[in-house]
Structures are given as structure tokens and as C-alpha cells.
């Protein structure tokens, strides 16, 4: 049975709003670009390849789940027989778990390591390159 949008629910509205904000602000893309093009290359000079590969893989997993959520929301809006708020909710829970794990790794491994090991020139390089990414339209 399809989800009836006309009945509406707060979680559904929140999901639609969340999906829309991510699309408009390109939050995930900006985050991934900053890391892939700026942070990971600098960190890779000092850490083994496993940590940078893991971060890249996490970005891919997060992108896949976010696409799944976007598709589920679209199906719910169309009132598709294949749409299910329960399935959408599970995908949101998965996204939550993946992002928490990823951010924890960043904060407790990557950023901690960077604060201890990166030189002033490394930090300047990172800041300059992030500014370039942020200034691109």
C-alpha cells in the first residue's frame, strides 16, 4: 500500500526538507570534495593508505544511501506502491550510523593526527585549497 502524502507526517516532511537542503546546499558534495581533493592528499603523506581508502569508501557508502533516501522520498511523493515509510526510515537510520562513524573517524583519528603532525605549511596549503573549493560556484 502506498504512503498517502495528503495525511502527512512530521517525519516525512522532515525527510523531504532534509533531502531538499542537501541538494540545494551541496553539503555532502562540498564535504567530500574538501576531503578528497585537499585533506586526504596531505594526510596520505603521513598516514598509511588504509585510513584514506576507508574515508573514501565511507564517502561512497554515504552517497549511495543518500541516493537511496532521495529515491524513496520521490517514490513516497508519487505514492508509489513500492514506496514504504519503513524502508525510508531504515535508510535514514543507516545514513545516521554511517555519518556518525565517518565523523568519529575524522575527529578521533584524522583531525587528531593532523593537529599533532601537520606542519604550518601543510595547514596553510589545506586552508588555501579549501578556500578555492568554497569560492567555486
Residue 27's pLDDT is what?
65
Residues 48, 53, 55, 56: is their CA dihedral positive or negative? Answer: positive
Mean pLDDT of 14-33: 63
pLDDT at 21 over 60: no
pLDDT at 2 over 70: no
Query: pLDDT band for position 24 (50/70/90)?
Result: very low
Mean pLDDT of 3-24: 52
Cα separation, 73 vs 130, whole angstroms: 32
DSSP 36: I
Query: pLDDT band for position 92 (50/70/90)?
Result: confident
Mean pLDDT of 84-105: 89
pLDDT at 108 over 50: yes
Residue 68's pLDDT is what?
87
Query: pLDDT band for position 97 (50/70/90)?
Result: very high
Q: What is the pLDDT of residues 37-73, one digit of tens each?
A: 888 888 888 887 888 889 889 988 988 888 888 888 8
What is the chain's alpha carbon radius of gyration, rounded to the nearest angstrom? 18
What count of other Cβ atoms lies within 10 Å of the Cβ of residue 109?
A: 15
Give yes or no for a contact between 29 and 62, defined as CB atoms under 8 angstroms apart.
no
pLDDT at 9 over 50: no
DSSP string, 85-112: HHHHHHHHHHHHHHHHHHHHHIIIIIHH
Give yes or no for a contact between 98 and 18, defined as CB atoms under 8 angstroms apart.
no
Amino acid at each position: 500500500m502506498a504512503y498517502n502524502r495528503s495525511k502527512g507526517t512530521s517525519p516525512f516532511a522532515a525527510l523531504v526538507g532534509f533531502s531538499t537542503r542537501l541538494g540545494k546546499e551541496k553539503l555532502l558534495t562540498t564535504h567530500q570534495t574538501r576531503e578528497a581533493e585537499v585533506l586526504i592528499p596531505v594526510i596520505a603523506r603521513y598516514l598509511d593508505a588504509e585510513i584514506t581508502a576507508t574515508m573514501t569508501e565511507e564517502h561512497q557508502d554515504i552517497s549511495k544511501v543518500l541516493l537511496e533516501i532521495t529515491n524513496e522520498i520521490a517514490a513516497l511523493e508519487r505514492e508509489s506502491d513500492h514506496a514504504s515509510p519503513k524502508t525510508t526510515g531504515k535508510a535514514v537510520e543507516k545514513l545516521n550510523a554511517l555519518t556518525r562513524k565517518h565523523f568519529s573517524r575524522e575527529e578521533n583519528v584524522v583531525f587528531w593526527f593532523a593537529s599533532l603532525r601537520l606542519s604550518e605549511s601543510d595547514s596553510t596549503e589545506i586552508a588555501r585549497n579549501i578556500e578555492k573549493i568554497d569560492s567555486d560556484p
